[in-house]
Amino acid sequence: MRELSNFLLGPQIHLVVRRDYLYEDALEKLSGELNLKLKLRVQLVNAAGLEEAGVDGGGLMREFLGELMRTAFDPNRGLFRCTHDRRLYPNPAVSQLPDYGPLQAARQYTFVGRMLAKALYEGMLVELPLAHFFLAKLVSPGRGDLDLHHLASLEPLVYRNLLFLKGYPGDVAELGLDFTVLSSQLGHSTLEELKPGGASIPVTAANRIEYMHLMADHLLNAKLRQQCLAFRQGLEELLPPHWLRLFAPHELQVLISGAQSPVDLEDLRQHTHYEGGYTADHPVVRAFWKVLEGFDERQRRLLLKFVTSCSRPPLLGFKVRRSITLHCLLHSGKAEHLEPLHTDLEPQFCIQSAGAEPGRLPTASTCMNLLKLPEIPDESMLRDKLLYAIESGAGFELS
């Protein structure tokens, strides 16, 4: 109750969104919001047009942001694509899609960037595997233009072919290349010149390095510049550019989605809260930890995803109220204090009794990092029910 009271204090943004049109309503109502650092209170409306029961003490906001990120980055929506290794990046052909023009696409990328920044600002982990080159653009100065070596994470085959061309010992002119690239978008193929008159300029040993860099610039920068600039504009409304530049691309991915390190079971055990009659010494709780000790890493990550919606542990572990306070040295030589960046699990991982019903499955409220565990003291039965729940998602609750 104290946490709820604290959340309800101070200036707030009150947001009412339809659950079935969550992204569309949020885009319309939050795009013009001037200060997204304010507390966000969310009211969900069901398909019948009725407000869903409950007061947002932070849990609904987390649920809202998590669902919003999943929807926005869904490749089927068109704003983002997947690389060969299933990493997300802005769609270079987005403006050609029926629902998007250049202005509408830019508006949505800015909005999605703002909401990802809001999730980071609130210390939320979201499972968004972003492409390495896209992360590099977000932490790079200026326009975020990248060079040839970043092409490996976007088009590995093209990258390897360019390296082959660089070291080709034969007559390069015999390869029949010119300064053009064939682009296929929405079933249509177009020939684009990498430089004026490129269609009539053959690639030779003398100009192949220029060709390589122009090809990389076209794929990494020219075709993605407007999308990435709009996304960065939104991201930097909450997270200053000099703050972002403190991180390498892989470090920013850790801040967004958590660490790749194994789940530290002892750390999780030490920082788990209990409710509904459970304590650390309760027979069911002891059986629960025994079961987790027998889980392999994949199963532990499934449990973490089941309860928190993210399979990776937080950057600095499960202890609450941790944050990184950054001091940035500006070009002027003056040190600027930046706001704390939360790198813990908030709210705290919690196990709550779900009653003495042996046939009931464990369920979870991911918006509160809450595992609702039936009173099943038998370790073997508890293991079976936990595995069934986490591997099938049968016990997931949006709450």
- Provide the annotated active-site residues: 367
Distance CA 398, CA 395 (A): 10
DSSP character string of 80-120: EEE-TTS-EEE-TTGGGSTT--HHHHHHHHHHHHHHHHHHH
| Longest Cα–Cα distance in the chain | 79
Distance CA 337, CA 327 (A): 5
- CA–chain centroid gap for 335, Å, is 30
User: Which residues lie closer than 8 Å to 288 by C-beta, 6 or more apart?
Assistant: 351, 373, 382, 386
What are the respective helix, strand and coil percentages of the chain, to the nearest 5? 45, 15, 40
* Whether the Cβ atoms of residue 351 and residue 357 lie closer than 8 Å to each other: no
DSSP character string of 282-295: SHHHHHHHHHHHHS
Give the residues across from 336 on adjacent strands.
328
Helices H / strands E in the chain, number of each: 14, 15
* Whether the Cβ atoms of residue 194 and residue 202 lie closer than 8 Å to each other: no
Angle at 29 between CA 129 and CA 110, to 5 degrees: 40
* Whether the Cβ atoms of residue 168 and residue 147 lie closer than 8 Å to each other: no
Query: In Å, what is the CA distance from 212 to each residue of 19, 163, 225?
Result: 48, 8, 19
